[in-house]
Chains A and B, each alone.
Chain A
Amino acid sequence: MGTPARSRTLLMTNAVEFLSVSRLFGTVRAVDGVDLSIKAGSFFAMLGPSGSGKTTCLRLISGFERPTGGTIRIFGQDVGRVPPNLRNVNTVFQDYALFPHMNVRDNVAYGLMVKGVDRRTRHAKAEEMLALVKLDSYGDRKPAQLSGGQRQRVALARALVNEPQVLLLDEPLGALDLKLREAMQDELKALQQRLGITFVFVTHDQSEALSMADTVAVFNNGKIAQIGSPADVYARPRTRFVADFVGSSNVLDPAMTRALGGPEVTASLRPEALRLVPAAGATLCGTVTGLRYLGPSVRVTVQMPFGVLGVMVPAGSPCPEPGSSVCIDLAPDALHVMEDE
């Protein structure tokens, strides 16, 4: 692993490809003609609200769902007729799905056992994996004796011991508290970089997706609304839905965009691209209607003559009182034109 030649081939290969894949449940189009390619070795996030089709996409990769139409390829091979157990793809389940009747070591060694690896070898491998997730001395415990974070690590070790080509993670951090979640985010990212395995990560938490992934696909109504790097998706949302769902942008209708000096189109405007300025010489003024403390910054809601805008002010800098008049200024390139949906 890690030779330049290999890295290059890896980067040129697609780990997963969807060619106009659909999955219908009755008349509901859970996945609706999705085209998608996930680069080998990348950290790919599927982001979207519940019911947007992201989890179904994950289950199509693992093989728990079969596409109603279209083709799925894993490392170039059509998997239309390949059942889950013959795909070298492993999943970390949302509820971890640890086997309650086995101890941690046997849970981790399960994939090797069913492939016929002898007991000593598979136990050694399992211990190695447990060490990797920092659970060295937990092999004899039952899943019920572990905390949520520990179970999550066991689930991770159990998947990784099979050396999968693609690791699927279904909201794996959803059940953890904030502190633990942040620590696990860093660990997962580090692990992915170290192992070089393709990670496909499903989440509804936009900050999680943006902070961890190389590429983010935003799902809406069974379709991909936008796919791109986190910076791209954040700064240049393609549609109103993406702007609304990712971050806390001001979504401007054509009249508002016009009022702010842009063309008459729908646009998005990041609250941190706006600044509060002294009234002297300013043209855009309004009244403060609300303040929300977000820790490192304060979000100020301003009622302008043409609509409401959110403005981000760094905490510690002077902050206006609700009811007071303020004026705003924006950078010329802050307005981002969006497509109509």
Chain B
Amino acid sequence: MLSDRASWGLKAAAIGGLLFLHLPILLIFLYAFTTDERTYQFPPPGLTTQWFAVAWNRADIWPPLYLSLKVAVISTAMALVLGTLCAAAMARASFFGRDQISLLIILPIALPGIITGMSLRSAFAIMEIPFSTWTIVLGHATFCIVIVYNNAVARFRRLSGSIIEASLDLGANGFQTFRHVLLPNLGSAMLAGGMLAFALSFDEVIVTTFTAGQQSTLPIWMLNELVRPRQRPVTNVVAIAVFVTTFVPILIAFYLTRGGSETAGGGK
């Protein structure tokens, strides 16, 4: 007989695996309170909350934070428009080149980030485009499109196709149908896609290092601190800020799409 209950070994391995996935993050929180700023000594010799104030007053943190927020907001907005348009077109009846188009949308996340980054870098070099906020946005919006697209297309699939026809049938034109029927049903999926795109853009570092030049986003600032640490607990405070800034939108996205399959397997 096949038992309906897992063996202790399997259970332990599964729970152990989950702990392996989650415990390391907690250390980030712990080290933000340590009194030791030169090493990563464990257990911490003492606890203090001073680093939050120190981080707040560090002038070199704010410009990267603003840049990251700016890039994430612009990229998300562009991805929302482009990804939703694409999903709407793909939800319609089949047309020539459909499979090729879906491959093209997936490609920016299917290939490693370094390829997207290096490709953009090559293009900037050939066309002699100077680095700016917009060169960063170009890269981020490209891989954010697929996140929004995945969410929107899954929702289109779940919507009863005939509600759009029902709206037209009842006398609404295309624009009224979009406003009164499509948008209310698509809205939460778009919001979820936007949240995930924001989170992804906000902490993206690999593509960004190729498209930023001398500019510094918050993840690039963190990366520099990792390579050449100064006040280590300050880096932890920033890491917590980055973690929370991405974690909250992700949780909201899950809440918005629960019961659906939008975000499942939607790898970055």
Contacts of A63 in B (CB 8 A): 168
Cβ of B128 under 8 Å from chain A: no
Q: Is the CB–CB distance between A111 and B170 below 8 Å? A: yes
Instruction: Say if the beta carbon of B181 comes within 8 Å of chain A.
Output: yes
- CB of A84 within 8 A of CB of B168, answer yes
B176 touches A114 (CB 8 A): yes
User: Any chain A CB within 8 A of the CB of B160?
Assistant: yes
The segment from A10-18, A88-96, A179-187 that touches chain B is A88-96
Q: Is A138 an interface residue (CB 8 A)?
A: no
B172 touches A97 (CB 8 A): no
Range class of the B interface residue count: 10 to 19
Residues in A neighbouring B170, C-beta threshold 8 A? 85, 90, 110-111, 114, 158-159, 162
Cross-chain contact B166 with A93 (CB below 8 angstroms): yes
Q: What is the distance, in angstroms, from B165's C-beta to the closest C-beta of chain A? A: 5
Residue on B with the closest CB to A64?
B165
B180 touches A95 (CB 8 A): no
> Could you say which residues of chain A place their CB within 8 Å of the CB of B180?
110, 113-114
List chain A residues, Cβ under 8 A from B171: 85-86, 111, 114-115, 162
Which A residues from 73 to 108 make CB contacts under 8 A with B? Answer: 83-86, 89-91, 93-95, 97-101
Tell which of B166, B173, B184, B185 touches A97, judged by Cβ atoms closer than 8 Å. B166
> Does any Cβ of B come within 8 Å of A62's Cβ?
yes
Q: When the two chains form their complex, are residues B163 and A97 in contact, meaning their CB atoms are under 8 A apart?
A: yes
Contact partner of A101 among B165, B168, B185, CB < 8 A?
A: B185
B168-A97 in contact (CB<8A): no
In Å, the complex CA distance between A84 and B174 comes to 10
CB within 8 A of A85: which of B162, B172, B181?
A: B172
Q: Are A90 and B169 in contact (CB under 8 A)?
A: yes
Which of A84, A86, A95, A113 is B162 in contact with, Cβ under 8 Å?
A95
Asked if B167 is an interface residue, CB under 8 A from chain A, the answer is: yes
Contact indicator A114/B172 (Cβ below 8 Å): yes
Q: Which residues of A contact B166 (CB under 8 A)?
A: 91, 93, 97-99, 158
CA distance A308 to B181 in the complex (A): 57
Query: Distance in Å from the Cβ of A267 to the closest Cβ of chain B?
Result: 43
Given A100-B185, A101-B185, A114-B180: A95 and B169 interface contact (C-beta under 8 Å): no
Rounded to whole Å, the gap between the CB of A62 and the closest CB of chain B is: 6
* Min CB–CB distance B38 → chain A (angstroms): 57
Q: What distance in Å separates the Cβ of B179 from its nearest Cβ neighbour in chain A?
A: 10
Hey, which chain B residues are within 8 Å of A100, CB to CB? Answer: 160, 163, 185
Looking at A63, A86, A110, the one whose CB has the most chain B CB atoms below 10 A away is A110
**Which residues of chain A from 111 to 126 have any CB-CB distance to chain B below 8 Å in the complex?**
111, 113-115
Q: Within B131-172, which residues are at the interface with A (CB < 8 Å)?
A: 160, 162-163, 165-172
B:169-227 near A, CB below 8 Å? 169-173, 176, 180-181, 184-185
Contact partners of A101 in chain B: CB under 8 A = 184-185
Q: Offer 25 A-B interface pairs, CB within 8 angstroms, sorted by A.
A: A62-B169, A64-B165, A83-B168, A84-B168, A85-B169, A89-B169, A93-B162, A95-B162, A97-B160, A97-B163, A98-B166, A99-B163, A99-B166, A100-B160, A110-B170, A111-B172, A113-B180, A114-B167, A114-B171, A114-B173, A114-B180, A115-B171, A158-B166, A159-B170, A162-B170
Chain B residues proximal to chain A, CB less than 8 Å: 160, 162-163, 165-173, 176, 180-181, 184-185
Give the B-binding residues of A (Cβ under 8 A).
Answer: 62-64, 83-86, 89-91, 93-95, 97-101, 110-111, 113-115, 158-159, 162
Q: A85-B172, A115-B171 are in contact. List 19 more A-B contacts (CB 8 A).
A: A62-B169, A83-B173, A85-B171, A85-B173, A86-B171, A89-B169, A91-B169, A97-B160, A97-B166, A98-B166, A99-B163, A99-B166, A100-B160, A100-B185, A110-B172, A110-B180, A114-B167, A114-B170, A114-B172
